[in-house]
Amino acid sequence: MHSSIHRLVSSSLVIAASLTVLAPSTALADRVAVVIGVGSYGKIDASLALPDAAGSARALAVALEQHAGYDQVLPLTDALATRSAIRDLLLESLPAKLDSDDSLLVYFVGHGVGGDFGDPYLLPYDADPSDLQGTAISVDELSSSLRNTLQVGSLVMVTDAVHDMRLDDLVLVGPNAKSWPEAADEFFSLSACSPKEIPGATPFGEHFAEGISGAADSSGDGAVSASELYRYVLDRMDASGVKAHPAESGAYNPELVVAEVIQGPQDFVETPEPVPSAKPRRVAGIWMAAVGLGVTGSGAALYFDGRSIYTEAGSPGAEQGLKDRYARDRRWAPVLLGVGAASLVTGGVLVVLPTPTGATVGVSLRF
């Protein structure tokens, strides 16, 4: 491994030039998300508000765009999430832009009804309690319309729409994962709880955002699959002690990729001194270990997320120091992060490049 590093460091500029030439020739399908969060309603009593719904949706929208490889994220929150806005986006605007190579994720957090007697509805912002059938969104009707109008390679439907509250004589039980008919040929449905569960507030949204941002990537291959995401949220919800167990359903390949993990310097935390025994640290929904920090006498800052190393150092010998620390990080990263995150550093080389300022910048490339 060390000999490979030496050879590739010397040819790092050639590698970078090759990547630059080849990248534009690769055509990528679009990955699109619609994130709906309704915490307050125009015609439903304020006592039934969900204070965290809109904020959770906005946070997820940022995570999907910055960390999960989504090309376009379309958030609809509170007063923007009307029945007509949701239907127009899903059934008119997107079908005209997406094709069979593209992927669509739809996430809804808010109230629902009818899930407890087999006829579930989602409640948009303008749902009227006196006419729910005419102002809410029928899951059966929406699924049928999506299948008829939307031609995508895969559709992921995520709902957090079951809450221990009552609207007049109705318990606010919306759809769970098993409520959804197959809305696409490859259809993955995930919900915050299982059938017959009616939980209070749960951390499902937080765990979902963490998982799809990369924490669920147990294989360390840079992608989050449907099965990895489901297992992650299920395990995290179990660990939280809440009485809700996420459910999944649909005709889908367990290896269906639901996120391409993106990480950059904004995800990492700088620690000015070496840390002898680092513990996993969560940053922007990503679990990581702050390890291998500092190059003695150089004032260097090293950022490590398990796959990539970024550093700047102006002292002589910084290049060799980076190689030594990279080798150490490869040995210790799986131990520090635990068995569930083994193979975080599965392969790669450390490329060290000089900059016009005289600093040394290193980055590990995976292969």
Structure tokens at 296: 């003695």
pLDDT for 104 equals 97
**In this structure, are residues 3 and 328 in contact, taking their beta carbons and an 8 Å threshold?**
no
Average pLDDT, the chain: 74
**Residue pLDDT, tens place only, 147-163:** 999 999 999 999 999 99
**Residue pLDDT, tens place only, 255-304:** 999 999 986 434 433 333 333 333 333 333 332 333 333 333 333 334 34
**Residue pLDDT, tens place only, 40-84:** 999 999 999 999 999 999 999 999 999 999 999 999 999 999 999
Question: Which CATH number among 3.40.1350.10, 3.40.640.10, 3.65.10.10, 3.40.50.1460 corresponds to the domain 29-260?
Answer: 3.40.50.1460
Query: For 306-317, what is the mean pLDDT?
Result: 40
Residues of CATH 3.40.50.1460 domain(s) within the chain? Answer: 29-260
158, with CB counted inside 10 A (0-12, 13-18, 19+), is: buried
Q: What one-character-per-residue DSSP string does 154-192 give?
A: EEEEEEE-EEEEEETTEEEE---GGG----SSSEEEEES
Structure tokens at 317: 């010998």
